[in-house]
């Protein structure tokens, strides 16, 4: 194996020899030693009398990617050594929940070694962040400290500090003063398994950084030398599906770096599809702004990680480790046309500010933790309220609840925001850990019947309240769904998960009711279509045609409220059912209107469900319900002149026939007094002109045939 020996010189002492693998020179230009390095290490540091001791020191540190050996005693300042982003072997990646062994090689004396990791990324080493201590028992002995990275640790770069002192201290101060010893600082990247988090071993220390970034009206934080070379997705860009935005990236102070942008549109965490590369460029001058087109796919909705990288390399991939440069992650948020405005925040409940549990009128659930910290959670059982009632909401906070701001909303007008009158509760500020905070949110007397969104939001501390679509600083947002009953209409059933899994009605057809292509995932649990109506003749046979949704298997049933008592549970009101075995399948439910059905307008109900097959008014698990209107009419025989199914107006050339609804395209025949057919055909629309010029004087019968029935009128020719 080939190696390179690199000599580093400090102001205090000719320091250590670093042994590292030789790597190809893949940077864009010949890289000169530019000096002026800015490590970005802002931690307080300990001090040692006489700049430490040549007998009490750290001779080597090994932790995953950190491999620093045979360093002897060194001192950047009073026995403290800053190895932040000091090149290959000085930075490592640690995974949430991962267990590790930190190996420390001591000097010639029996010394105590202590190690801290700044797990909360607050820029200081606290007592609870001491990951372990160990003592050497012989010269140049290698000892280990075993530790586990807590699963709730924040993601991103942070500090690792190791101190060597010559005595046991039950409560060592990571920033204190000591007589003898040495301290070394390293950078560690706390990361999750997914997505990848690349390392830049020298980072931004020499000016390789993203100076500025802008997407449409949104700006990211400005970069600088010494900034940590990985930025978590703590900023969000709210964009629209199908829109194109200007993405402007400004290079850093080093002239020749490569910049590349990806968006993980399929959310697989690897940015490996050709369509996910937004663009790339190589800078030739410092602080140069380049604009590229960021196109949001037409069908996009949800949360999509965007990665922007800078590196001094010819080929730049989204996950490969580099020497110089930085990586920034952002979150693109795209609203769904049928869901309330989406929010995003990076911190979530990691600071202890969030929602552990929620309750709406006795129906409750626990809240998950993790990105995007915005959740769609059903209520089980379904919550029903009537206009004039109230929503009684209880929110259980978390251990860091003090100062947490919590607000509740209801989308009364179903415009998918929460900024209208009476849609927002008074907010509650948490005052104790794990506190149960209660709200009352009224449902006005004029609230529309049907489904409504309820939003419960925890915003963290110091949040300036704006409206329900504003991204929180911390905490979580929960969207759930309730049903407002109709006091003057039929029962309205709910479904716990309604159409969220794709069990929906994509079309209903019956006579003049022609509602097709109307279904969608996340569509309403209940929809009333009062404008969609058709006539049904008592004793006649019909078929309801239902188009299934995106799931292969769903059950569809239809009812008519024949006695108009606003339920559908009387004998004969269930018309029938059909089960799909493919998505978007056309299904037929045949039925006959019973003799004796009262005339007038009543309800046709069509329901989709999966599994339990609830009744017309019973809450289910998945699916939706749609109501239409049907007009019950009669047919008393062939003489329907009193009901005027069609009219005939005499003119100079003959007769103008106008047919009513349902008789369009009916067959007609004109029969003379001897029973002979003299004219026949099909009505092309709603009118027909019968010419009388060739007819002899006498009486004629005009007969219209449709729906297995015959209507007739007596006509006379006198010339």
Read off the pLDDT of residues 256-277 as tens digits, 9 standing for 90 and up: 999 999 999 999 988 988 899 9
Name the residue among 305, 221, 214, 219 with its Cα closest to residue 262: 305
> With 60 as the cut, is the pLDDT of residue 484 above it?
yes
**Is the separation of the CB atoms in 94 and 189 below 8 Å?**
yes
Half-sphere exposure of 468 (CA within 13 A, CB side): 28
Fold of 641-717: Immunoglobulin-like (2.60.40)
CATH of domain 507-633: 2.60.40.2950
CATH number 2.60.40.2950 is the correct assignment for the domain at 3-191: yes
How many other C-beta atoms are found inside a 10 Å radius of the C-beta of residue 137? 8
Model confidence at 193, pLDDT cuts 50, 70, 90, reads confident
> With 50 as the cut, is the pLDDT of residue 339 above it?
yes
pLDDT digits (tens, 9 = 90+) for 199-246: 999 999 999 999 999 999 999 889 999 999 999 999 899 999 999 999
> Looking at residue 18, what is its pLDDT?
30
**Is the separation of the CB atoms in 131 and 115 below 8 Å?**
yes
CATH of domain 200-334: 2.20.130.20
> Looking at residue 638, what is its pLDDT?
37
The domain spans of the chain are: 3-191, 200-334, 365-484, 507-633, 641-717
pLDDT digits (tens, 9 = 90+) for 584-594: 999 999 999 99
State the average pLDDT over residues 452-473: 88
> Looking at residue 644, what is its pLDDT?
62
Share of the chain above pLDDT 90, in %: 73
472 DSSP β-pair partners: none
Are both 3-191 and 200-334 of the same fold? no
* Mean pLDDT estimate for the chain: 90
CATH of domain 365-484: 2.60.40.1930
Model confidence at 3, pLDDT cuts 50, 70, 90, reads very low
What 3-state DSSP class applies to 1? coil
Contacts of 264 (CB under 8 A, 6+ apart): 195, 270, 271, 276, 304, 305, 306, 307
> Looking at residue 28, what is its pLDDT?
54
> Looking at residue 708, what is its pLDDT?
64
State the average pLDDT over residues 289-297: 97
pLDDT digits (tens, 9 = 90+) for 514-549: 999 999 999 999 999 999 999 999 999 999 999 999
What letter would DSSP give residue 634? -
More confident of the two residues 369 and 28: 369
Tokens of 642: 């009193």
> Looking at residue 327, what is its pLDDT?
97
Q: Give the span between the Cα atoms of 387 and 561, in whole angstroms.
A: 24
Tokens of 300: 């996009």
> With 50 as the cut, is the pLDDT of residue 15 above it?
no
> With 70 as the cut, is the pLDDT of residue 156 above it?
yes
Q: Give the span between the Cα atoms of 39 and 205, in whole angstroms.
A: 5
pLDDT digits (tens, 9 = 90+) for 393-423: 999 999 999 999 999 999 999 999 999 999 9
> Looking at residue 37, what is its pLDDT?
62
Q: Give the span between the Cα atoms of 345 and 372, in whole angstroms.
A: 7
pLDDT digits (tens, 9 = 90+) for 642-663: 346 788 888 877 888 888 766 7
Tell me if the bond preceding 626 is cis, omega within 30° of 0: no
Lowest mean pLDDT among 183-187, 350-354, 622-626: 350-354
Tokens of 129: 């962040």
**Is the separation of the CB atoms in 293 and 263 below 8 Å?**
no
Computed from CA positions of residues 297, 301, 304, 306, in that sequence, does the dihedral angle turn out positive or negative? positive
């Amino acid at each position: 194996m080939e190696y390179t020996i690199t000599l580093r010189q400090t102001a205090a002492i000719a320091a250590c020899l670093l042994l590292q693998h030789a790597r190809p020179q893949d940077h864009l230009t010949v890289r000169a030693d530019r000096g002026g390095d800015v490590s970005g290490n802002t931690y307080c540091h300990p001090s040692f009398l006489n700049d430490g001791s040549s007998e009490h020191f750290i001779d080597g540190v090994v932790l995953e990617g950190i491999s620093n050996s045979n360093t002897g005693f060194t001192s950047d300042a009073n026995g403290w050594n800053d190895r932040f982003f000091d090149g290959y072997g000085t930075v490592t990646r640690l995974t949430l929940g991962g267990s590790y062994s930190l190996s420390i090689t001591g000097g010639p004396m029996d010394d105590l070694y202590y190690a801290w990791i700044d797990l909360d990324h607050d820029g200081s080493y606290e007592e609870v962040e001491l990951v372990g201590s160990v003592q050497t028992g012989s010269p140049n002995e290698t000892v280990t400290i075993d530790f586990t990275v807590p699963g709730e640790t924040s993601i991103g770069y942070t500090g690792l500090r190791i101190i060597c002192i010559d005595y046991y201290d039950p409560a060592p101060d990571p920033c204190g003063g000591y007589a003898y010893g040495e301290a070394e600082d390293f950078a560690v990247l706390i990361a999750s398994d997914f997505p990848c988090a690349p390392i830049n071993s020298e980072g931004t220390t020499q000016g390789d950084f993203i100076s500025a970034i802008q997407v449409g009206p949104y700006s990211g934080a400005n970069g600088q030398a010494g900034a940590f070379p990985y930025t978590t997705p703590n900023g969000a860009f709210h964009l629209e599906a199908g829109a194109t935005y200007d993405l402007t990236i400004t290079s850093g102070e080093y002239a020749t770096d490569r910049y590349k942008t990806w968006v993980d549109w399929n959310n697989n965490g690897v940015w490996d599809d050709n369509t996910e590369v937004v663009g790339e460029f190589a800078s030739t001058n410092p602080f140069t702004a380049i604009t590229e087109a960021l196109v949001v796919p037409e069908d996009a909705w949800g949360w999509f990680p965007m990665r922007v990288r800078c590196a001094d390399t010819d080929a730049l991939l989204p996950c490969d480790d580099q020497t110089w440069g930085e990586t920034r992650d952002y979150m693109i948020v795209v609203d769904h046309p049928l869901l309330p405005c989406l929010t995003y925040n990076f911190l979530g409940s990691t600071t202890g500010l969030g929602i552990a549990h929620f309750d709406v009128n006795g129906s409750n659930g626990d809240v998950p933790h993790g990105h995007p910290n915005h959740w769609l959670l059903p209520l089980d059982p379904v919550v029903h309220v009537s206009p004039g009632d109230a929503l009684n909401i209880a929110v259980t906070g978390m251990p860091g609840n003090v100062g947490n701001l919590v607000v509740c909303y209801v989308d009364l007008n179903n415009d998918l925001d929460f900024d209208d009158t009476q849609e927002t509760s008074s907010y509650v500020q948490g005052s104790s850990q794990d506190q149960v905070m209660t709200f009352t949110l009224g449902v006005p007397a004029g609230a529309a019947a049907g489904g409504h969104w309820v939003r419960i939001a925890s915003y963290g501390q110091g949040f300036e309240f704006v409206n329900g679509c504003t991204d929180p600083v911390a905490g979580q947002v929960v969207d759930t769904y309730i049903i407002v009953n109709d006091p003057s209409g039929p029962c309205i059933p709910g479904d716990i998960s309604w159409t969220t899994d794709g069990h929906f009605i994509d079309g209903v057809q019956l006579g003049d009711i022609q509602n097709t292509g109307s279904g969608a995932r996340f569509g309403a649990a209940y929809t009333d279509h009062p404008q969609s109506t058709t006539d049904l003749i008592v004793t006649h046979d019909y078929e309801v045609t239902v188009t299934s949704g995106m799931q292969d298997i769903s059950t569809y049933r239809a009812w008519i409220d024949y006695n108009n008592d606003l339920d559908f549970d009387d004998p004969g009101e269930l018309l029938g059912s059909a089960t799909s075995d493919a998505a978007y399948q056309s299904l037929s439910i045949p039925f006959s209107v019973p003799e004796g059905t009262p005339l007038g307008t009543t309800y046709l109900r069509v329901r989709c469900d999966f599994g339990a097959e609830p009744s017309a008014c019973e809450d289910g698990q998945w699916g939706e319900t749609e109501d239409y209107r049907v007009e019950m009419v009669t047919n008393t025989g062939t003489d329907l002149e009193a009901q005027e199914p069609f009219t005939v107006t005499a003119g100079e050339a003959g007769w103008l026939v106008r047919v009513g609804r349902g008789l369009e395209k009916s067959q007609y025949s004109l029969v003379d007094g001897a029973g002979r057919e003299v004219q026949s055909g099909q009505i092309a629309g709603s009118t027909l002109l019968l010419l009388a010029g060739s007819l002899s004087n006498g009486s004629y019968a005009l007969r219209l045939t449709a729906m297995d029935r015959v209507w007739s009128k007596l006509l006379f020719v006198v010339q």
